[in-house]
Amino acid sequence: MTTTDYATYIASLPRVLAGAGALFRDSAGRILVVEPDYREGWALPGGTIESDTDETPRQGARRETAEEIGLDVVLGPLLAVDWVLGPARPPIVAYVYDGGVLSDEQFAAIRLPEDELLSWKLITPDEVASHLPGSLGLRVLAALDVLAHGGGPVELENGLPPR
């Protein structure tokens, strides 16, 4: 197979998007969520992995969280990976890493990009479903379960364990 044939073959393969985020908590176990200005609802700090730069999911999560909240934190272990199907878009592989427990000083140092995020806040695990609906909320709850009980990372499909 020639280089041109291989490039044509690769271009013909299905596309999959990839995103990565971090689950940051405070000492009371509340979860840091951010409010994007480009869509409704809340999210974990994170975003799209830049595959054109050979960025890994872990590197993408760290870069995105540094860009979004102004904190460059070494991330802990992978907690969850989720294959998310959606209408009118390719599938997304979503990675969630342990961002750890932030100190009061780190929370005070959070700075949001004005052109991307409106605000941030801390929510309790009981508030996850109302702030992070759908597969994102299920993914976060699964990641919290890994933190509480070990055994991770957990594999998910649309936020749920595979059948």
pLDDT above 70: percentage of residues in the chain: 99
Print the domain residue range for 58: 17-157
pLDDT digit string (tens) for 109-139? 999 998 999 999 999 999 999 999 899 999 9
* Residue 113 located in a structural domain: yes
Q: Specify if 2 maps to a domain.
A: no
Helices (H), the chain: 3-12, 57-69, 104-108, 128-131, 134-149
Q: Is residue 6 part of a domain?
A: no
- Tokens in use for 7? 């490039």
- Determine, yes or no, domain membership for 94: yes
Which pLDDT score, from 0 to 100, does residue 28 have?
97
Q: How far apart are CA 44 and CA 140, in angstroms?
A: 9
Please tell me the total count of domains within the chain: 1
Q: pLDDT for 27-54, tens place per residue?
A: 999 999 999 998 889 999 999 999 778 8
Whether 89 is in a domain gets the answer yes
Mean of the per-residue pLDDT values of the chain: 93
According to DSSP, the residues that pair with 36 across neighbouring strands are 117
What was the pLDDT predicted at 133? 85
Judge whether 111 lies within some domain: yes
Q: Which residues contact 75 (CB under 8 A, 6 or more apart)?
A: 22, 58, 61, 62, 65, 97, 98, 99, 100
- Is residue 3 a part of any domain in this protein? no
CA 160 to centroid of chain Cα atoms: 16
Give the length of the chain.
163
Q: Quote the tokens at residue 62.
A: 């760290």
SS3 category, 96: strand
Q: Within its chain, how far is the Cα of 75 from the centroid? A: 12
The CATH number of the domain holding residue 118 is 3.90.79.10
In a domain, 61, yes or no: yes
